[in-house]
Structure 1
Amino acid sequence: MAEKDNTEYKNALMEMAGELAANPLIKPVIDQLIYDFIRSPECRKAFGEYAKRKITDKLGL
């Protein structure tokens, strides 16, 4: 897939995701999933490890 096609594909997916998230029937479900995901201890630990890894990679440590 050419880079231009890849960019267009990503843009189309992001636009579709935005439309789904704005849907009044789907938005509460997405909000609850995000809330549950953020509140879980496993998620907090995994995100902390991910953030630490990204920061050290950016700093070259």
Structure 2
Amino acid sequence: MIHELPKPWYDPIAYKKIRLEEAKFEAEIAKKFVNENLTRNATGKNISSMGSFSCSISCR
């Protein structure tokens, strides 16, 4: 478990990697929620996943 997210201006590669992992985990949780018919919770997790993904691709 990571205690602090690395700063993108110090290590952009590590930042991208961690943000992509975060997006993957959030998407997996959303998929589990959909399978349990918890669509409202799944929507929130999908939005979190997309936020993490957009942060990872916006980092240079």
What is the TM-score normalised by the length of structure 1?
Answer: 0.41
Structure possessing the higher relative contact order (Cα contacts under 8 Å, 6 or more residues apart): 2
Q: Look at both structures and tell me which one has the larger radius of gyration over its CA atoms.
A: 1
Structure with a larger share of its residues in helix: 1
